[in-house]
């Protein structure tokens, strides 16, 4: 169970991608037949007797016993049992492969850098890492040297040999490994005091020591001599020879046990695969992902940049990025208008007292830009819009007849993100949220949340994202969560109901709520399977209280409204980043900064194309005529690289016929289309907001 946990949803909240591209989610490996292992014999013997493959790219590397525990092939079972082989290319087999490769890497590191202390070395999505405390940090050149040493170890076909040890013996054996000693101590604590101690091991640490009997894994040379040893729960590959393909990827720093207060270790990440080909595929998928990087495409397509003069995490949008942004916003505004939202505007700065009222200060002061002192008051750049929307609600008495009151704003906020976390458009210091706050009566909350979730999903689909799952973030018993538990319960249930009703997969996220209320977040998978957190919907009982928000009910009494926060894009910047990567820069025609490029075969057709361009412009199509002195082929290449959906090409023949020729983004062409028809086709395609690239098949 713990093994599954390590590769399950807990990894999905990171924006680590490629995973699902490599191994599609929810694919179950074919169930292996079970085999009987006699008491005192090894699983290997049973597998060999049954003719199970133990060497190929799908060969078995460990077995799963009847209790669900993974076991080494060469460790005899105490009692007879039914086991199933676990193939190296199954999710669990891959984890074993990667964990064993991590051991080989640690062995190589300690051989090359004998003073190096060991941290932990678990498998992770697509690979593994091992944390070290070396004499000096690793350099990129070190990786090559370590890889070479690893190859030697793999060629030596060292056996992974399991050996049980007592805690005391382990302490003696590992007296020079302070981090391992700490893990042994933690394991002891966890056993003594049961669950949920503050020092509880996480899944990755548990893979080192396990919960009960400690075990060591000895790497034995073919002559039986000891090459290396590590404290480890196992299981492992039979021998290092069973590692078909690996590569060290990068070095990084990581805090011991993930805590900023602890010592910082040097981490090396690697990847390992059941075949050279699988490794190659993985690496080319990484390349594909790199090609889609919105930071790179943003520069290439002239969409946006991050001038140093502005400071880290502050983007400027160029004209082409501006068009994209405007189209996105325009459509969003229209949909909000149709769905009963009212548009408001609020300033970017405010006196300190507002954020005191809202409760954001002092909790979030260090995530806000420092205040400016002015006329005896401290002014803050706003990091959130909600307090200002609350003031709008409170500006006059409110009636139940006005509820739900839905206030919407493209609100710019500024957050003082730490320097190390700023990343392209997805993590910035200045952003515009498509922010909305909905005030409703408690009785309306359930229905409002359902409608809201439908609206959100529907709108995301219109932008071409169509693969979603939801995350329900709830409170745990941490003291950071404030408010009445009954209210939490009610809001959580309302969110859960809305989520269930949506029919989407729901992943629980206990403890992940905001301090003031539970939330649903919508995760979207992009074109190459990476998941991104998009929209969030949050229930808040706190701010209405703090701001004293109330409305007069049908009963003539004053009531406190429920407040729902929601942002759909998250931020406009981030959404543009995600869409850029989703479409690899080849945006849907309706969002494309330039929708049509007209290319004359010779200069003779330039004026003719300008006339056609005018007809398109009359239909609000964004069109450019390439009247440069380049040759036609070059213009086509340039247009292709700019990823415009439509190229219109005209030569003398087209001009004589009052026609024009199409070249679509996929390189397909359609010649001799009458001008009026061509204009209509383009305008119609853009108007219907199709998200796929236009091609011949669309216009038959």
| Catalytic residue chosen out of the listed positions 98, 320, 437, 643 | 437
Residues 134-153 that bind RNA (CB under 7 A): 137, 139-140
Work out how close the CB of 671 gets to RNA at its nearest, in angstroms, rounded to a whole number: 5
Nearest CB to RNA, comparing residues 338 and 366: 366
> Considering CB under 7 A, how many residues would be counted as binding RNA?
73
Structure tokens at 346: 């609020």
Residues 364-383 that bind RNA (CB under 7 A): 364, 367-368, 383
Is 44 known to be catalytic? no
Is 84 known to be catalytic? no
Which one among 130, 581, 654, 678 touches RNA, defined by CB under 7 A?
Answer: 654
517 contact partners, CB below 8 Å, separation of at least 6: 483, 488, 491, 538, 539, 540, 541, 542
DSSP 36: E
CB 537 within 8 A of CB 456: yes
Tell me if 191 contacts RNA by CB under 7 A.
Answer: no
Work out how close the CB of 604 gets to RNA at its nearest, in angstroms, rounded to a whole number: 6
Work out how close the CB of 129 gets to RNA at its nearest, in angstroms, rounded to a whole number: 8
| Catalytic residue chosen out of the listed positions 386, 523, 654, 665 | 386
Which one among 644, 649, 679, 682 touches RNA, defined by CB under 7 A?
Answer: 649
Structure tokens at 545: 């209280």
Residues 8-27 that bind RNA (CB under 7 A): 13-14, 16
Tell me if 385 contacts RNA by CB under 7 A.
Answer: no
Strand ranges (DSSP E) for 292-404? 304-305, 316-317, 342-343, 349-351, 372-374, 377-381, 398-399
Is 565 known to be catalytic? yes
- Which range in 29-37, 191-199, 661-669, 686-694 contacts RNA by CB under 7 A? 661-669
138 contact partners, CB below 8 Å, separation of at least 6: 132, 146, 251, 266, 268
Tell me if 598 contacts RNA by CB under 7 A.
Answer: no
Tell me if 96 contacts RNA by CB under 7 A.
Answer: no
- Residue 506 exposure: Cα atoms within 13 Å on the Cβ side: 17
Tell me if 389 contacts RNA by CB under 7 A.
Answer: no
Q: Between the CA of residue 192 and those of 36, 182, 187, 426, 486, what are the distances in Å? A: 36, 15, 9, 44, 34
Nearest CB to RNA, comparing residues 250 and 334: 250
Is 294 known to be catalytic? no
Residues 44-83 that bind RNA (CB under 7 A): none
Residues 312-341 that bind RNA (CB under 7 A): 312-313
Work out how close the CB of 180 gets to RNA at its nearest, in angstroms, rounded to a whole number: 19
- Which range in 90-98, 148-156, 217-225, 623-631 contacts RNA by CB under 7 A? 623-631
Is 437 known to be catalytic? yes
SS3 content of the chain, % helix, strand, coil (to 5): 40, 25, 35
Residues 472-531 that bind RNA (CB under 7 A): 514-516
CB 529 within 8 A of CB 500: no
Nearest CB to RNA, comparing residues 37 and 579: 579
CB 435 within 8 A of CB 567: yes
- d(C-alpha 457, C-alpha 535), whole Å: 9
| Catalytic residue chosen out of the listed positions 71, 236, 389, 519 | 519
Which one among 155, 291, 631, 688 touches RNA, defined by CB under 7 A?
Answer: 631
Tell me if 128 contacts RNA by CB under 7 A.
Answer: no
Closest to 345 in 3D by CA, of 268, 412, 442? 412
Is 435 known to be catalytic? yes
Structure tokens at 259: 């805590």
Tell me if 308 contacts RNA by CB under 7 A.
Answer: yes
Work out how close the CB of 55 gets to RNA at its nearest, in angstroms, rounded to a whole number: 33
Work out how close the CB of 84 gets to RNA at its nearest, in angstroms, rounded to a whole number: 33
| Catalytic residue chosen out of the listed positions 435, 526, 626, 654 | 435
CB 87 within 8 A of CB 59: yes
Nearest CB to RNA, comparing residues 250 and 291: 250
| Catalytic residue chosen out of the listed positions 107, 158, 285, 433 | 433
**Residue 667's Cα: distance from chain center in Å?**
32
Closest to 155 in 3D by CA, of 110, 89, 108? 108
- d(C-alpha 466, C-alpha 458), whole Å: 9
Tell me if 667 contacts RNA by CB under 7 A.
Answer: yes
Chain position carrying tokens 């966890």: 190
Tell me if 661 contacts RNA by CB under 7 A.
Answer: yes
Nearest CB to RNA, comparing residues 577 and 588: 577
Work out how close the CB of 632 gets to RNA at its nearest, in angstroms, rounded to a whole number: 5
Is 117 known to be catalytic? no
Structure tokens at 392: 């709008």
- Which range in 85-93, 165-173, 414-422, 610-618 contacts RNA by CB under 7 A? 414-422
Which one among 3, 499, 549, 636 touches RNA, defined by CB under 7 A?
Answer: 636
Structure tokens at 504: 């989407």
Q: Between the CA of residue 137 and those of 253, 254, 258, 297, 553, what are the distances in Å? A: 9, 12, 18, 33, 66
Tell me if 251 contacts RNA by CB under 7 A.
Answer: yes
Nearest CB to RNA, comparing residues 130 and 551: 130
Bridge partners (DSSP) listed for residue 342: 407
Work out how close the CB of 615 gets to RNA at its nearest, in angstroms, rounded to a whole number: 18
Contacts 24+ apart (CB under 8 A), 320-327: 320/593, 320/594, 321/576, 321/593, 323/593, 323/622, 324/576, 324/587, 324/591, 324/592, 324/593, 325/572, 325/576, 327/590, 327/591
| Catalytic residue chosen out of the listed positions 415, 496, 582, 622 | 415
Give me the active site residues, please: 386, 415, 433, 435, 437, 519, 565
């Amino acid at each position: 169970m713990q093994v599954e946990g390590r590769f399950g949803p807990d990894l999905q909240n990171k924006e680590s991608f490629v995973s699902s591209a490599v191994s599609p989610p929810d694919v179950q490996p074919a169930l292996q037949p079970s085999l009987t292992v006699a008491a005192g014999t090894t699983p290997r013997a049973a597998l060999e007797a049954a003719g199970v493959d133990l060497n190929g790219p799908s060969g078995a590397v460990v077995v799963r016993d009847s209790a669900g525990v993974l076991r080494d092939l060469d460790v005899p079972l105490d009692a007879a049992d039914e086991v199933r082989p676990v193939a190296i290319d199954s999710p669990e087999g891959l984890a074993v492969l990667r964990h064993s490769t991590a051991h080989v890497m640690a062995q190589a590191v300690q051989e090359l850098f004998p003073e190096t202390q060991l941290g932990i070395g678990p498998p992770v999505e697509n690979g593994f890492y091992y944390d070290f405390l070396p004499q000096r940090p690793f350099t990129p050149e070190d990786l090559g040297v370590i890889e070479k040493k690893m190859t030697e170890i793999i060629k030596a076909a060292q056996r992974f040999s399991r050996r049980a040890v007592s805690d005391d013996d382990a302490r003696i054996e590992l007296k020079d490994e302070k981090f391992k000693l700490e893990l042994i101590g933690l394991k002891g604590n966890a056993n003594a005091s049961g669950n949920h101690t503050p020092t509880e091991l996480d899944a990755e640490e548990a893979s080192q020591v396990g919960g009960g009997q400690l075990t060591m894994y000895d790497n034995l040379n073919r002559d039986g001599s000891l090459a290396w040893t590590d404290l480890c729960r196992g299981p492992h590959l039979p021998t290092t020879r069973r590692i078909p393909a690996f590569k060290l990827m990068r070095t990084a720093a990581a805090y011991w046990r993930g805590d900023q207060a602890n010592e910082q270790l040097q981490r090396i990440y690697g990847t390992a695969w059941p075949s050279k080909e699988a490794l190659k595929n993985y690496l080319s998928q990484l390349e594909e992902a790199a090609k889609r990087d919105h930071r790179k495409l943003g520069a290439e397509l002239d969409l946006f940049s991050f001038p140093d003069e502005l400071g880290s995490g502050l983007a400027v949008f160029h004209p082409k990025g501006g068009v994209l942004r405007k189209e996105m916003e325009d459509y969003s505004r229209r949909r909000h208008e149709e769905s009963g939202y009212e548009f408001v505007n609020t300033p970017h700065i405010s006196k300190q007292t507002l954020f005191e009222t809202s409760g954001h200060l002092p909790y979030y002061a260090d995530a806000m830009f420092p205040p400016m002192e002015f006329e005896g008051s401290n002014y803050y750049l706003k990091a959130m819009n909600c307090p200002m929307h609350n003031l709008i609600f409170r500006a006059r008495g409110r009636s139940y007849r006005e509820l739900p009151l839905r206030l919407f704003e493209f609100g710019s906020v500024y957050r003082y993100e730490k320097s190390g976390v700023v990343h392209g458009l997805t993590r910035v210091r200045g952003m515009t949220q498509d922010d909305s706050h909905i005030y409703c009566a408690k009785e309306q909350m359930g229905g409002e949340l359902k409608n809201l979730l439908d609206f959100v999903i529907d709108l995301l689909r219109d932008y071409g994202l169509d693969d979603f799952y939801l995350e329900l973030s709830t409170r745990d018993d941490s003291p950071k969560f404030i408010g009445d538990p009954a209210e939490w319960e009610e809001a959580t249930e309302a969110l859960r109901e809305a989520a269930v009703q949506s029919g989407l997969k729901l992943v629980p996220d206990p403890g992940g709520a905001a301090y003031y209320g539970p939330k649903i977040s919508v995760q979207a998978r992009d074109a190459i399977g990476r998941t991104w957190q998009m929209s969030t919907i949050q229930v808040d009982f706190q701010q209405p209280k703090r701001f004293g928000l109330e409305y007069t009910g049908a009963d003539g009494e004053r009531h406190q409204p429920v407040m729902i926060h929601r942002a759909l894009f998250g931020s406009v910047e981030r959404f543009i980043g995600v869409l850029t990567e989703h479409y690899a820069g080849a945006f849907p025609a309706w969002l494309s900064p330039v929708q049509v490029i007209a290319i004359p075969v010779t200069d003779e057709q330039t004026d003719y194309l300008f006339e056609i361009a005018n007809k398109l412009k009359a239909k609000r199509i964004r069109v450019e005529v390439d009247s440069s002195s380049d040759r036609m082929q070059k213009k086509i290449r340039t247009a292709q690289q700019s990823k415009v959906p439509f190229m219109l090409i005209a030569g003398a023949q087209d001009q004589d016929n009052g026609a024009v020729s199409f070249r679509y983004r996929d390189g397909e062409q359609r010649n001799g289309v009458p001008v009026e028809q061509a204009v209509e086709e383009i305008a119609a395609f853009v108007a219907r907001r199709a998200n796929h690239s236009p091609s011949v098949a669309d216009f038959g």
